[in-house]
């Protein structure tokens, strides 16, 4: 008799990963394949939907071959995915009508400017700031500029979806057209209170209800796989946005839990007891949906964290910009009064200041490149702290610790400095595929492998713990110095504290 497992697909911006997760909730196999991302001559960022699917098909093949060789029996398929990336395809043929517009692409900026007078209404209903990031601006751009999309819309054959919807549609050979609530909550079209597509917001963007997928919980029987012999008839049992999947994969589900994912940029997500009132400083979102349970959250996105390290390393002419800069930073104990604010593309949460630009302050004659490198590393922790404290204020919840994941968490000195600035313990997850793991656990809930969130909390969650080591005077001196550096470069467009 085969050993049961779940095939979890994590479709990211530059890679597609797959995990096989067994009944103990532990990954027993990993596969990965790269995905190309293209910047056009217009400066647009996009991907080929068919290449996205091919990368998924490749990791599925690898996973199925391993499962067969090792005697595993795949009982369900789980999906986690890059968020906000917008796709359009033909309902009849299932073929893509246009390139997938990446979440990074800003081609919807003009649409945001045009709708600027309705920005507060959009944020109040959907929880998201009106920005090119949200999927709605990308679909509106396609409807206004792409002839093939326009023709499908006129023929009432247009499908608009995020990556989860595209994968579900492909896996089920067009039988299911659906998205989960977490991905829907990142489109700028979902009314968070009603848990439904908002008709007035749809009209603002020129998007018809019939072109959008059905809304489903994150843990749910979405359909059955067809057309892949090794998986024929296997149910698709979960879908969730990657940041939400990572939050779920940490294994802590009580309101007041907060996690930070450190990558090229960084994002924080804090679970709240209910949908909190509208706040201009943070996004409100759905963390996950299980049956009748809708878990709400606050989210804050930071544009430049890991990319700030990369930028400074390139600026200093290093051969390996990121690794060399981190090694240089480790040669000094602190930044010695230098503050680097990496606002080269503006500032995200909690300031939302697109006009802000990067600054380096506090320089003295005795400073070296090592101090500047250290300031770049510390800037990550300062930016995370700004969002962390804004979330506490907005939710009226005191966070007792910070869960962390992502590539930059391997930097032990960064994690320790983060704990020092927050004056809270920092717990670094040892599993690097939390998004896929969280999606797998959601499938396991739908299968009945685990009966409740309490069962998942009881699973092993290995983490490295960093305790704060600064006294109050040290912490205040450094954080106030950061705030002063910020105050020198914020424009009058910044959201006030």
Least confident of 90-94, 129-133, 256-260: 129-133
pLDDT of residue 263: 82
Give the Cα separation of 154 and 451 in Å (integer). 46
pLDDT at 373: 95
Question: Quick one: which of 340, 334, 335 has its CA closest to 485?
Answer: 340
pLDDT tens, residue by residue, 455-491? 999 887 788 999 999 999 999 999 999 999 999 888 8
- 10 Å CB burial of residue 482 (0-12, 13-18, 19+) is buried
Residue 380, pLDDT score: 95
Res 474: pLDDT: 93
Which pLDDT score, from 0 to 100, does residue 345 have? 78
Cα four-point dihedral sign 357, 362, 365, 367 = negative
Where does the pLDDT of residue 104 fall: very low under 50, low under 70, confident under 90, or very high at 90 and above? confident
Range list of H helices, 146-262: 147-154, 163-171, 181-184, 199-205, 242-249
Checking 487-493 for CB contacts under 8 A at 24+ apart, the result is 488/359, 488/361, 489/341, 489/343, 489/356, 489/357, 489/358, 489/359, 490/347, 490/351, 490/353, 490/356, 491/353, 491/355, 491/356, 493/353, 493/354, 493/355
The arithmetic mean of pLDDT across residues 178-189, rounded, is: 97
Side-chain-facing half-sphere of 46: CA atoms under 13 Å: 20
- pLDDT of res. 75: 97
0.95 exceeded by pTM: no
% of the chain with per-residue pLDDT over 90: 79
What is the reported pLDDT for 1?
Answer: 39
The set of residues, in sequence order, having a beta carbon less than 8 Å from that of 330 and lying 6+ positions away, is 413
Altogether, the residues listed in the chain come to a count of: 497
- Looking at residue 73, its pLDDT comes to 95
- Region 320-335: mean pLDDT is 94
Sign of torsion over alpha carbons 370, 371, 372, 378? positive
The predicted pLDDT at position 2 comes to 59
More confident call, 356 vs 365: 365
Average pLDDT, the chain: 93
Across 20-27, average pLDDT: 94
Give the per-residue pLDDT at 497: 67
Q: How many CA atoms lie within 13 A of 211 on its CB side?
A: 30
Q: Which two tokens stand for residue 115?
A: 């709708």
pLDDT at 383: 95
Least confident of 145-154, 287-296, 428-437: 428-437
For residues 154 and 397, the model is more confident at 154
Return the minimum-mean-pLDDT range out of 160-164, 240-244, 456-460, 469-473.
456-460
How far apart (Å, rounded) are the C-alpha atoms in residues 138 and 100? 9
Instruction: Report the share of the chain in percent with pLDDT over 70.
Output: 99
What whole-number distance in Å separates Cα of residue 47 and Cα of residue 36? 7
Of 110, 236, 143, 132, which Cα lies nearest the Cα of 187? 132
CATH code reported for the domain at 3-243: 3.30.420.40
Confidence band for 144, pLDDT divided at 50, 70 and 90: very high
**For the chain, what are the domain ranges?**
3-243
């Amino acid at each position: 008799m085969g050993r049961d497992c779940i095939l979890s697909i994590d479709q990211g911006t530059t890679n597609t990963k797959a995990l096989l997760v067994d009944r103990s909730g532990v990954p027993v196999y990993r596969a990965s394949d790269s995905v190309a991302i293209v910047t056009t001559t217009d400066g647009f960022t996009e991907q080929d939907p068919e290449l996205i699917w091919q990368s998924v098909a490749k990791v599925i093949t690898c996973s199925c071959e391993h499962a067969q060789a090792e005697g595993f029996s795949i009982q369900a398929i789980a999906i986690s995915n890059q968020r906000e990336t917008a796709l359009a395809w033909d309902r009849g043929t299932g073929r893509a009508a246009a390139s997938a517009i990446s979440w990074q692409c800003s081609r919807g900026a003009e649409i945001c400017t045009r709708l600027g007078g309705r920005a507060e209404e959009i944020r109040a209903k959907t929880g998201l700031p009106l920005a090119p990031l949200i999927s709605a601006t990308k679909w509106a751009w396609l409807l206004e500029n792409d002839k093939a999309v326009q023709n499908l819309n006129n023929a009432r054959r247009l499908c608009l979806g995020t990556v989860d919807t595209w994968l579900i549609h492909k896996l089920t050979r067009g039988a299911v057209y659906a998205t989960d609530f977490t991905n829907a909550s990142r489109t700028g079209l979902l009314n968070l209170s009603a848990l439904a597509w908002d008709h007035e917001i749809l009209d603002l963007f020129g998007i018809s209800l019939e072109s959008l997928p059905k809304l489903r919980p994150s843990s749910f029987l979405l359909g059955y796989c067809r057309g892949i012999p090794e998986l024929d008839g296997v149910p698709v049992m979960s879908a969730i946005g990657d940041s939400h999947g990572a939050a779920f994969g940490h294994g802590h589900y009580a309101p007041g839990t907060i996690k930070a994912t450190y990558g090229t940029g960084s994002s924080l997500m804090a679970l709240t007891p209910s949908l909190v009132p509208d706040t201009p400083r943070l996004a409100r979102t759905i963390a996950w949906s299980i049956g009748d349970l809708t878990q709400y959250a606050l989210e804050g996105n930071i544009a430049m964290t890991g990319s700030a390290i990369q930028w400074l390393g390139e600026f200093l002419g290093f051969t390996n910009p990121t690794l060399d800069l981190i090694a240089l930073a480790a040669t000094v104990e602190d930044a010695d009064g230098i503050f680097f604010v990496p606002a080269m593309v503006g500032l995200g949460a909690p300031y939302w200041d697109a006009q802000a630009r990067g600054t380096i302050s506090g320089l003295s004659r005795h400073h070296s490149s090592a101090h500047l490198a250290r300031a770049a590393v510390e800037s990550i922790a300062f930016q995370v702290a700004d969002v962390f404290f804004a979330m506490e204020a907005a939710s009226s919840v005191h966070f007792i610790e910070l869960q962390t994941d992502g590539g930059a968490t391997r930097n032990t000195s960064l994690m320790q400095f983060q704990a020092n600035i927050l004056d809270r313990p920092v717990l670094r997850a040892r599993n690097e595929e939390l998004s896929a793991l969280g999606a797998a656990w959601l499938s396991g809930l739908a299968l009945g492998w685990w009966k409740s969130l309490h069962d998942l909390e009881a699973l092993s969650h290995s983490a490295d713990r960093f305790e704060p080591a600064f006294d109050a005077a040290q912490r205040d001196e450094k954080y106030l110095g950061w705030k002063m550096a910020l105050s020198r470069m914020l424009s009058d467009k910044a959201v006030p504290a």
